[in-house]
């Protein structure tokens, strides 16, 4: 009888461990499925909003500058949700939107020179 009880405890413990590990992988799988659904929704909205040449330009931009492409996609999706778009956007329309986003996210670079003044020869030449 001790062997049967021990075997039952082992089975119960294995079931608990499998359930515990199954839940964490199921949670990860659920998150992955949610991300996939979101990506599909984004693609379907963009397919409705952009014509073929504009989608090609946006996908090329995504290869080079993914953060900028994501910002443009978010902008287009927001405009589509609020009904601000009056039909499909052509490539020229997308270029205008890209220019607007570029102006908004443009970073100004400045260069500042700090010159060291260790031995200033001008002060010694006053003699």
Query: By C-alpha distance, which of 52, 91, 98 is closest to 73?
Result: 98
At 35-73, the pLDDT tens digits run 888 888 888 888 888 899 999 999 999 999 998 889 888
Of the listed ranges 30-34, 52-56, 91-95, 104-108, the least confidently predicted one is 104-108
Instruction: Give, in order, the Cα–Cα distances in Å from 44 to each of 14, 26, 41, 55, 77.
Output: 44, 27, 5, 11, 10
Three-class DSSP category at 50: strand
Query: Residue 61 contacts by C-beta under 8 Å, 6 or more apart in sequence?
Result: 68, 69, 72, 98
Q: What is the mean pLDDT of the chain?
A: 81
Query: By C-alpha distance, which of 60, 68, 127 is closest to 101?
Result: 68
What pLDDT is attached to residue 26? 60
Two tokens, residue 38? 């979101």
Q: What domains lie within the chain, and their CATH numbers?
A: 35-104 (1.10.8.140)
Query: By C-alpha distance, which of 99, 103, 83 is closest to 91?
Result: 99
Mean pLDDT of the 18-42 span = 77
CA 38 to chain centre: 12
Decide if 75 contacts 101 (C-beta within 8 A).
Answer: yes
Confidence (pTM): 0.59
């Amino acid at each position: 009888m001790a062997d049967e009880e021990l075997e039952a405890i082992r089975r119960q413990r294995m079931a608990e461990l499998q359930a515990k590990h199954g839940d964490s992988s199921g949670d990860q799988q659920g998150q992955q499925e949610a991300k996939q659904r979101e990506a599909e929704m984004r693609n379907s909205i963009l397919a409705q909003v952009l014509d073929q040449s504009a989608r090609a330009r946006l996908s090329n931009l995504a290869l080079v500058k993914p953060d900028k492409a994501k910002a443009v996609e978010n902008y287009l999706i927001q405009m589509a949700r609020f009904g601000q778009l009056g039909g499909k956007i052509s490539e020229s329309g997308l270029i205008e939107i890209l220019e607007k986003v570029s102006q908004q996210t443009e970073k100004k670079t400045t260069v500042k020179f700090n010159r060291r003044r260790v031995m200033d020869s001008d002060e010694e030449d006053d003699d």
